[in-house]
Amino acid sequence: MSRRGGAVAVALVAAAALAGGGACKATLTPGGLYDLAKGIKDAKKELTPENEYYLGRAVGTKILANADYRYEDEDGWQSGRLSSTTAYVNAVGNVVAFAAMGAPRDGDRPSPLAGWHFVILDDESINAFAAPGGYVFVTSGAIHQARSEDELAAILAHEVAHVVRGHAIGSIQKSRMSGVMKQFLDSSVELDPEVEAQMASVFGGSIDDIVDGALVKGYSKDTEFEADRVGLAIMVAAGYDPQAFVSYLRTLASHQDTGSGGFYATHPKASERIAKLEALVAKQAPVRVPAIRVERFEAAVSELP
């Protein structure tokens, strides 16, 4: 794909035919992950990718419903023919995401069921956040602060790290899951209306927890540092320059005194993140950045409002 090519060809996923029933060989184990006696204690470990898919759809919907977050290229997403800027950000994001999936760590979430999607929010504040299920949101303000494709890759790698490490799911209050434990386990088919409504409330509460965690409260410092560490490894695996992660944080640090809300409210101080990352970056082999990566970044960003 080249950003000079204008609209980038995208493939529409064909609707799959129903697989139907038939013989099966699923392996059952006694006890197992959903132990009725113990209940769900760790949503990160026990929510399935299918559960995460539905959470991600709803979290994405709530974020896009926020009047503050009009998103770029709505027509492109609807038609399947993305603008060159949106396509470019998704190309960088997918390269980074494939690198993450190709070198998984223990406890990484599996591939999002509906793939990875990188959505630009039309907002001048500096922010980026991820929903479960492979939705990554980055503001135009955050992109404008980047000076190269490698710095953009650092932003996206940090968010991909949040997804693969299941950080958003970790925002769900434990009490929600314990309160609905039995219904959750028994919710196979044909729920009665009362239980269905209760489950929908738990679903809604979980979504609110995740949105609150991503947009308002932020994650713990340790969680953010983990996303930095894993994100750095991901971008290196993709072939991007690890120095770009630190250089982007330096730019953010330069605004730390005047910045407020968004990124500044939900992330540790950039100076703290730099201090932790520098030693890791120093261990990486130097990367020569071809001029084309800066050029195609500048061309793509020049079309952003």
Q: Which is nearer to another protein, 218 or 242 (CB)?
A: 242
Least distance CB 85 / another protein (angstroms): 14
CA 111 to CA 221: how far, in whole Å?
26
Least distance CB 96 / another protein (angstroms): 8
- Interacting residues of 69 by C-beta distance below 8 A, sequence separation 6+: 63, 121, 122, 123, 137
Least distance CB 202 / another protein (angstroms): 8
CA 90 to CA 31: how far, in whole Å?
41
CA 72 to CA 97: how far, in whole Å?
21
Least distance CB 50 / another protein (angstroms): 4
Q: Which is nearer to another protein, 66 or 260 (CB)?
A: 66
CA proximity to 73, closest of 121, 115, 117, 135:
121
* Residue 194 main-chain phi, psi, to 5 deg: -65, -45
Least distance CB 273 / another protein (angstroms): 23
Residue environment code for 213-231, b if the CB has 16+ CB neighbours within 10 A, otherwise e: bbbeebbeeebbbbbbbbb
State how far the alpha carbon of 139 is from the alpha carbons of 6, 128, 278, in Å: 22, 6, 26
Q: Which is nearer to another protein, 12 or 279 (CB)?
A: 12
Q: Which is nearer to another protein, 185 or 275 (CB)?
A: 185
Q: Which is nearer to another protein, 196 or 303 (CB)?
A: 196
Helix (H, G, I), strand (E, B) or coil at 235: helix
Q: Which is nearer to another protein, 182 or 260 (CB)?
A: 182
Q: In one letter, which amino acid is 284?
A: Q
CA 159 to CA 234: how far, in whole Å?
11
Q: Which is nearer to another protein, 113 or 281 (CB)?
A: 113
Least distance CB 155 / another protein (angstroms): 16
Q: Which is nearer to another protein, 95 or 274 (CB)?
A: 95
Least distance CB 216 / another protein (angstroms): 19
User: What is the number of residues in the chain?
Assistant: 305
CA 173 to CA 271: how far, in whole Å?
30
User: Which residue(s) pair with 118 in the sheet?
Assistant: 136
Among positive and negative, which fits the CA dihedral 120, 124, 128, 133?
A: negative
CA 72 to CA 75: how far, in whole Å?
9
Least distance CB 83 / another protein (angstroms): 12
